[in-house]
Structure 1
Amino acid sequence: MSHQTGIKANAELRKFFADGKTAKIRLAKVAIEDEQLVLKEKRESKSNWEKDYERYVVPLVEENQPSYILYRLDAKNSVGYDWLLISWCPDTAPVRQKMLYASTKATLKQEFGSSEIKDELHGTVVSDITLDGFKRHLTNVVRPPPLSMREEELQEIKKTEVNTDISVDTKQTLGTLAFPLTDAATKAIKDMAAGLFDYLQFKINISEESVHLAESGNIAVESLPGKVPEDSGRYHLYKFKHTHEGDYMESVVFIYSMPGYSCPIKERMLYSSCKNYLTDLISSLGLEITKKLEVDSGSELTSQYLYDVIHPTHSLHRPKFAKPKGPPGRGPKRMTKHQDAAE
């Protein structure tokens, strides 16, 4: 099953997809706005595809903003004209935008009609999407076998990823987002490791692409449910103090809270993608995490629930292993030396 962002084309764009694939239209620029795919620009044919390409494509892209361009070529196939899909994802764009556009491209293709897209071009700098850049692509790229929608999404996301080692200032790592911690958040984690706090809460500042300290202090476990917002994501660190089999224990629990689909898609993506890097970073700062949890409501965070996830009960009544029977007709059982001596 393909994991996508849930973003769909709005009514205007769907109408264009149904009625606009004619010889009159040369291209359409599509963007993501208000969690929808929207038609931003369209251009009519003036000349052949090469001259129109030079006239239209580069002026339509923005320096820091990803977008898609659907460009009609002059050749036809069994279902209509051949189209080129240009995915513009500049290096200067915010990481969250890169991921959002990469994860939504498969949906755009599906709604437009994958069979009508003859070729695809990915650009991070302007030279990638000029006419010369497209011709280099046609000359140098050997077309791979068709990919599934999920494979296409992963391939696009990997184009925006960079391998780096974990550090406080790291921005992105392979397979996850790595927004840096603010100085206050870093200090609070070290203070908790030193025993000054038993509760910390963190939030993502989306505009700054960083993780901020939202709250710190010492609270009873009964107060923990009230710390979980009902309208936004959060990360929590809580030192659960309890006894187990007569021993006093302090277990640090990392809690990722996300109240379902009441949060915007971008926020859900960012919190989900950042949590693994954050837990690694917390451990590197000297605070050992005993258990990682995900909840959508603070009501789940009772003392009994925390105890059960830290000390799960193991069943004492396991079924005995049933030895498989041997093949039929193999003759009488062989006597052992021990049996011979006993007789």
Structure 2
Amino acid sequence: MFLALVVTPELRDFLAWARGGAVRLIKVRIQDEQLVLGAHREPGQSWDRDYDRFLLPLLDPQEPCYVLYRLDSRNALGFEWLFLSWSPDQSPVKDKMVYAATRATVKKEFGGGHVKYEMFGTTEEDVCLSGYQRHVSSFCGPAPLTQAEQELQRIKLTEVTSENSVDSKHQTLQGLAFPMQETAREALLQLAQKKINYLQLRLDVKRETIELVHSQPTDTRDLPCRVPKDTPRYHFFLYKHLHEGDYLESIVFIYSMPGYSCSVKERMLYSSCKSRLLEEAERDCQLQVVKKLEIDDGDDLTEDFLYEEVHPKQHAFKQAFAKPRGPAGKRGHKRLIKGPDEVVQDG
């Protein structure tokens, strides 16, 4: 587990002062296991004219960082800000993990109410002005509701109007993402480092978050009893096994949904949040998931089942030899072939 990083007093004082609007950009780095001020820029022109010329030169292609960029819009607390997490592909995996695990700390220290948008980028194309504009446009919508509220509203309508058919039971919502609690994120980072071998996550529907249920040590034989019989769950398991003489450790994602004992709303929320959870786990926590499974009963999770799913057999289909068909129509006179001392007669 990563240690909690300390915010230096200088950075804390600077953030408090900068919220007043005298600063356009703040770069925050990790140095000697502390969060420190990397650089800052004062406003020059409008926010969009300052954006590329201030931001891009400060991004190191090999070192992650956080950037707080002040917009010109305001809310009840003052100026609104963009919170950017920069994690270039060429930076070390350990550095990426440390920054991913510390992002929530930086946001909390600055004050989440001041942050209007959050972005994550690995290339300049992701975070330049045009990348920011693409990011913002994806969040624009006509209704004054959060994305989660809109999805829940659609779910309620579906529960009332949908028929009890196979098609209606399997309707899913695309793109819904509940934020992960810090304990869940830390557990995923520990799994990526193979410090733990199992973790289980659940949706907190009221708070609209993903939270850690537990991360108890688990062998393959223990998996069936980890799966609840009455509620959905997400599971990540480090499957240790031998394959063709090689020892392998493969991370398997298991989405357990115990049939229709769950409500329509619960099924749709879990189904919708699944892809975004996996995307965040693989991108931010560097988790290499080799197999994604969906089950309705934990008893399915046997050693043989997991092995065949992770290493499916290559079926080779050989076509049986077919005797050539003779010419159509009359096949000519029959012949009777006898032994060497017998006479051969034509039919």
TM-score scaled to structure 2, two decimals?
0.46
Give me the TM-score of the superposition, normalised by structure 1.
0.47
